[in-house]
Amino acid sequence: MSKKKQKTFRPKARLPRGFGDVNAHEVRTMAAMIKTIGEVYELYGFEPLETPALEFAECLGKFLPDADRPNEGVFALQDDDEQWMSLRYDLTAPTARFVAENYDALAKPFRRYQTGTVWRNEKPGPGRFRQFVQFDADTIGSAEMAADAELAMMWSDVMEKLDIARGDYVIRMNNRKILDGVLDKINLLGDDEASAATRLTVMRAMDKLDRLGSDGVRLLLGEGRKDESGDYTKGAQLDAASIDKVIAFVEAGKDTNKATLTALAELIAGSEIGEAGIAELAEIDVLTSAAGYAEDRICFDPSIVRGLGYYSGPVMEAELTFEIKDEKGNLVRFGSVGGGGRYDGLVARFKGIEIPATGISIGVSRLYAALDKLGKHKAASVRAPVIITVMDKSERATYQQMAMDLRQAGIRAEVYMGSSGMKAQVKYADKRGAPLVVIQGEDERANDEITIKDLVVGSKASKDITDNEEWRTSQVAQITIKSADLVSKIQEILAKPHHQH
């Protein structure tokens, strides 16, 4: 052996980008959110379903891993028998698989809700992760607009149950058939490849109205647009008349849903598919209006596009409309926190027969981030445990009994599990945010007493004490009680206002 020290390999402790740890506060608030959303879904009659994280790649849809880039878009791996499996990238595709697999046994329409983690192998950004949580509800096997209307209203209920005030959010709704109507009017509904490609470009451009404004969209519909970094995006090369039509369409939103429908009807008059879409939205409007859900909650917005893949009828998006400032004072808008719509073709991939379906997907992770910045999380705070210090290790059983007594009364309590001295123990309690510290050393034990130190009161008192001698010897915010009174005394102290949240 050489005398040189072998350099031991130490991996850098780090996480792949787009993945994040979830701390105690986040776990609790996220769980509370999920509970709230689930309760609303249950109220509407939806049933829970869980499916696995991995599915056969071919079941999830068009993102089949190929030999060159097996993990583009999805995380995929090969089973023993070389079949490709993928981590699910949404909850809709697994649901379609489930329905196709169990179709005969299900009560139709099948109404289920599901929450879970999904994974996407793509570039992360602010508010965008490679692993995140969604919470979906779908009605499968109904072509009725009532199903879409119900989801929009339920979504609105969810937002308000999460303490997002009416006006701070809005469910925006459009219809893919109306979008097709516009494309129809500018002669882009052809089956040829060129039309299909231009269609995509046009829809992408329309979807960017909120971010780029109508001037930016105009550029994307025409020649192309150069962004501030100098990168150039080629446009759809439409002629001026067509551009005007598309712009008029995306800006056709009015103050009331009825007025929007009227405006849209004029713009796409003569297109069969477009008129069908307007009829669908009109039907939804009747139902939502009758239930009292006005434009301040569910708003028809012609600029909503929502993905390019499978939607076939109404599409919707939940948007947070308030703005707040970040640490640097910049205005931050959260924007979309979920999407949904009708996808009549999805189950047909498996069954051959078309089964109409509609659903919504709430982006729990994004919504969480937004509510966190708003300070709107409820039920998030759990009181830290009372810490019982270990003054004499030989008395551990006694301290343990104190903790058990407190727990019996429903009070979080823990005996200090480390081996440091008292100073470190109180410091530990402080760092944990403990409300109280329980102390029983030799002196107390001799008199069958226990000392309770109130860390909240002590913290306030420390501001007026600059002398350490005084701080130490005055034993600030401490009381000594009879051992038998431990639980009742602590209950009494914790009921005081300064220990309430």
Partner RNA sequence: GCAGUUAUAGCUCAGUUGGUUAGAGCGCCUGGUUGUGGACCAGGAGGUCGCAGGUUCGAGACCCGCUAACUGUACCA
Distance CA 316, CA 281 (A): 11
Both tokens of 371, joined, read: 């509510």
Residue 410 vs residues 12, 363, 381, 491: alpha-carbon distances, Å: 42, 34, 16, 10
Determine if the peptide bond prior to 52 is cis (ω within 30°). no
Q: At its nearest, how many Å lie between RNA and the CB of residue 222?
A: 14
Nearer to RNA, 2 or 229 (CB): 229
Q: At its nearest, how many Å lie between RNA and the CB of residue 137?
A: 16
Nearer to RNA, 212 or 248 (CB): 212
Written as one string, the DSSP assignment of 132-155 is EEEEEEEEES---HHHHHHHHHHH
Q: At its nearest, how many Å lie between RNA and the CB of residue 266?
A: 29
Nearer to RNA, 408 or 459 (CB): 459
Nearer to RNA, 292 or 431 (CB): 431
- Looking up tokens 């550029």, which residue turns up? 219
Nearer to RNA, 109 or 124 (CB): 124
Contact positions vs RNA (CB under 7 A) = 17, 61-63, 73-74, 89-90, 92-93, 120-126, 200-201, 204, 208, 211-212, 220, 227-231, 233, 306-310, 391, 420-424, 426-427, 430, 437, 439, 441-444, 451, 453-459, 461-462, 465-468, 471-472, 475-478
Nearer to RNA, 288 or 302 (CB): 302
Q: At its nearest, how many Å lie between RNA and the CB of residue 159?
A: 21
> Would you say 289 and 297 are in contact if contact means Cβ atoms under 8 Å apart?
no
Nearer to RNA, 25 or 69 (CB): 69
Tell me the three state secondary structure of residue 158.
Answer: helix
**Percent helix, strand and coil across the chain, each to the nearest 5:** 40, 20, 35
Distance CA 382, CA 27 (A): 11
Nearer to RNA, 88 or 177 (CB): 88
Nearer to RNA, 74 or 413 (CB): 74
> Would you say 265 and 279 are in contact if contact means Cβ atoms under 8 Å apart?
no
Q: At its nearest, how many Å lie between RNA and the CB of residue 440?
A: 7
Q: At its nearest, how many Å lie between RNA and the CB of residue 10?
A: 10
Q: At its nearest, how many Å lie between RNA and the CB of residue 74?
A: 5
* Residue ranges with strand state E in 103-204: 110-119, 131-140, 169-175
Residue 29 exposed, middle or buried by CB count within 10 Å (0-12, 13-18, 19+)? buried
The closest alpha carbon to 92, from 140, 127, 39, 33, belongs to: 140
Helix or strand run (H / E) with residue 193: helix 193-207
Q: At its nearest, how many Å lie between RNA and the CB of residue 53?
A: 15
Residues 6 or more apart whose Cβ sits within 8 Å of residue 55: 85, 86, 88, 93, 94, 97
Give backbone dihedrals phi and psi of 17, rounded to 5 degrees, phi first: -65, 150
Q: At its nearest, how many Å lie between RNA and the CB of residue 464?
A: 8
